[in-house]
Amino acid sequence: MKNVTCSLATTEKQISACYPLMYQLRPHLNQSEFIEQVICQQQSGYQILQAFRDKTLSGVAGFIIGHKLAWGKHMYVDDLITDIQQRSLGVGAIMLQWLEQNALQHGCGQLRLDSGVQRFAAHKFYLREGFVISSHHFAKSLPPSN
């Protein structure tokens, strides 16, 4: 799609501009917590992709390149969201294409992500985009440490 362009959000102003979209996916974070958390995660290599449709910010994706014994060098997509007003226009597919190209350029052998069990529409999207359901993800909440 010619009217969608992707780039990395690198400045605090750009990251801050991603908040209203990221809030749609991560509503537990207020704006300052979001900025603080992104700056913290950047120390480990976290980055945010921003997708503009006709110059309007329409989608964002948080990701990190890492290594694991199980997966080798891979790109993990932490967060992927298209603005609720702009869905089914191909923005999500273009962000995934950008992420895949970036992963290839960095020598990653896999793209990986988790998606909540209730996100049936997103699962349909990922399957359409060539992902397979490869594992069950288990999680256990722990009491806060003092």
Sites of contact with ligand COA (CB under 6 A): 25, 59, 80-82, 87-93, 115, 119, 121-122, 124-125
What is the phi/psi pair of residue 58, to 5°? Answer: -120, -20
Tokens 């399957």 belong to: 127
Q: Let me know: does 76 contact 37? Beta carbons within 8 Å.
A: no
Query: Smallest distance, Å, CB 121 to ligand COA?
Result: 3
Query: Smallest distance, Å, CB 146 to ligand COA?
Result: 33
Query: Smallest distance, Å, CB 53 to ligand COA?
Result: 9
- Closest-approach residue to ligand COA (CB): 92
Which residues are within 8 A (CB) of 26 and not within 5 positions of it... i.e. 6 or more apart? 34, 79
User: Which residue lies nearer to ligand COA by CB, 37 or 115?
Assistant: 115
Q: Which amino acid is at 26?
A: R
User: Which residue lies nearer to ligand COA by CB, 12 or 124?
Assistant: 124
CA distance 95 to 84: 15
